[in-house]
Structure 1
Amino acid sequence: MKTISLSGLMVAGLLGALIVPSVNAAGDPEAGRTKFYTCEGCHGVAGYTNVYPSYHVPRIGGQHADYVVSALKAYRSGQRTHGSMLGNAANMTDQDIEDIAAYVSRFRSMNAALPVTGNPSVGQGKSESCGACHGEDGNTTDPNFPRLAGQYESYLIKALQDYKSGARKNPIMNGIAEGLSEEDMRDIAAYYASQKKGLTIVED
């Protein structure tokens, strides 16, 4: 197994897509419930996958509201790229984004049971340095970093692959991913996907 020395880089977290100051999301969850209709066709369907490349659409129920706001604004500006997400976020106002974020953050899973292909036990050891930002089990309390617990393995792998290739840009994450093998990515993703208390799909 390849030895990974990332202690200097892990301070930013394993999958911190954006390093931004807290945006202090303060939306209306009831308004967000109505506005979420444009999102539910993907994020409200268990096991739904992106067409190409094929990977699970991320579970966002229970994600920090502030982080959801920063992600949607990044899609709206083009800082993060994905055809469907750009199309959905392009016409959202700041209030729309905050309302949707407030709505999805209310959900949490207490019993996630997702299939994995990597080795969660090995992945736990490989992800030890990630806990400073993402929490020991992927349930960080810092709203600037995403929760990873209960996220689909394939989505986490895709995110790391994109950081490694440079398709997803963040100087620290690009450096972290550069040192990971495909096996490392699978194992780390498997560990977070195996945490039962974490993210879920958004459905009422």
Structure 2
Amino acid sequence: MNIINKYIAFAVDVLTLSTVTAHAAGDPEQGEELAYTCMGCHGITGYRNAYPSFRVPKLGGQKAGYIETALKEYRSGTRSHRTMHAQGSTLSDQDIADLAAYFQGTEMATDSVTAADIGELAALNTCLACHGAQAAAGMVPTPATLSAQHEDYLVHALHQYKDGERTGTVMSAFAGMLSDDDIEAIARFYSRRDDGLHTPKKSN
């Protein structure tokens, strides 16, 4: 078994054996009302974060479980971003569930990537165990949908994992194996797919 396959097996073992985290049932209509502050950045196509500069991630169609985990990490400070911590600190668990339900419901996205799509880039095989079309269901925490995400955001996120600025047992292990060229290639591959995430539209 090569190192890539070992890490894939490790990821599946860790994620499928994790204790399932209870999430409150989200109300997408209430989430839409709460999302007005989110839409000031995430509802504008191509809107950029400053220092460091990258396009803010697309949330339309993102998995609710992933959004809930991310917002709770911002709220607690275990994931670092000054603006997102300030926003998250005002949210209850129910608010977070409502927002997650709303963003997921703005057309559900899928990661339909298979091994046949990725050609010879071995590094992309590490992504498939969790983010690919054949990923095991019920993983905890919920893996993000990557297809059609902004390239510069994906580069930023992978470097955060690689440099230890963002925590996550599986992602830190995977990112630690990646060269800068691997990171650029993975981000470029996912960003050019047209079957995934989108910028949600602002309500009138």
TM-score, with length taken from structure 1:
0.81
Displacement, 1:7?
A: 2.4
**3-state SS of paired residue (1:53):** coil
Aligned to 2:132: 135
Q: Which moved more, 1:96-105 or 1:175-184?
A: 175-184
Q: Which moved more, 1:145-154 or 1:24-33?
A: 24-33
Instruction: Considering fraction of residues, name the structure with more helix.
Output: 2
C-alpha distance 72-140 of structure 1, shift in aligned 2 (>3 A): farther
Higher RCO (CA-CA < 8 Å; seq separation 6+) = 1
Aligned to 2:112: none
Alpha-carbon displacement from aligned partner over 1:120-143 (angstroms, at most 9, x marks no partner)? 966855312322211149x98657
Displacement, 1:9?
A: 2.2
Aligned to 1:100: 99
Q: What are the equivalent positions in structure 2 for 1:17-36 lying under 5 Å apart?
A: 21-36=20-35
Displacement, 1:107?
A: 2.0
Residue 80 in structure 1 maps to residue 82 in structure 2: no
C-alpha distance 20-53 of structure 1, shift in aligned 2 (>3 A): farther
> What amino acid is aligned across from residue 69 of structure 2 in structure 1?
S
Seq. identity, % = 39
C-alpha distance 161-103 of structure 1, shift in aligned 2 (>3 A): same
Aligned to 2:114: none
For structure 1, the 5+ residue unaligned runs are: 111-119
C-alpha distance 173-147 of structure 1, shift in aligned 2 (>3 A): same
Residue 180 in structure 1 maps to residue 172 in structure 2: no
C-alpha distance 38-147 of structure 1, shift in aligned 2 (>3 A): same
> What amino acid is aligned across from residue 66 of structure 2 in structure 1?
Y
Aligned to 2:42: 43
Aligned to 1:170: 168
C-alpha distance 123-29 of structure 1, shift in aligned 2 (>3 A): farther
C-alpha distance 65-140 of structure 1, shift in aligned 2 (>3 A): farther
Q: Provide the aligned length of Structure 1 versus Structure 2.
A: 187
Aligned-pair Cα RMSD in Å: 2.6
Aligned to 1:117: none
Alpha-carbon displacement from aligned partner over 1:38-62 (angstroms, at most 9, x marks no partner)? 1111110101111111111000110
**3-state SS of paired residue (2:33):** helix
Q: What are the equivalent positions in structure 2 for 1:125-164 lying under 5 Å apart?
A: 125-136=122-133, 142=138, 144-164=142-162
Q: Which moved more, 1:120-129 or 1:22-31?
A: 120-129
Displacement, 1:23?
A: 3.6
> What amino acid is aligned across from residue 146 of structure 2 in structure 1?
L
> What amino acid is aligned across from residue 32 of structure 1 in structure 2?
G
**Partners of 2:24 and 2:94 within 8 A in 1:** no
**3-state SS of paired residue (2:55):** coil
For structure 2, the 5+ residue unaligned runs are: 110-116
Aligned to 1:69: 68
Alpha-carbon displacement from aligned partner over 1:41-91 (angstroms, at most 9, x marks no partner)? 111010111111111100011011111111111111111110010010001
> What amino acid is aligned across from residue 128 of structure 1 in structure 2?
N
Q: Which moved more, 1:86-95 or 1:162-171?
A: 162-171
**3-state SS of paired residue (1:75):** helix
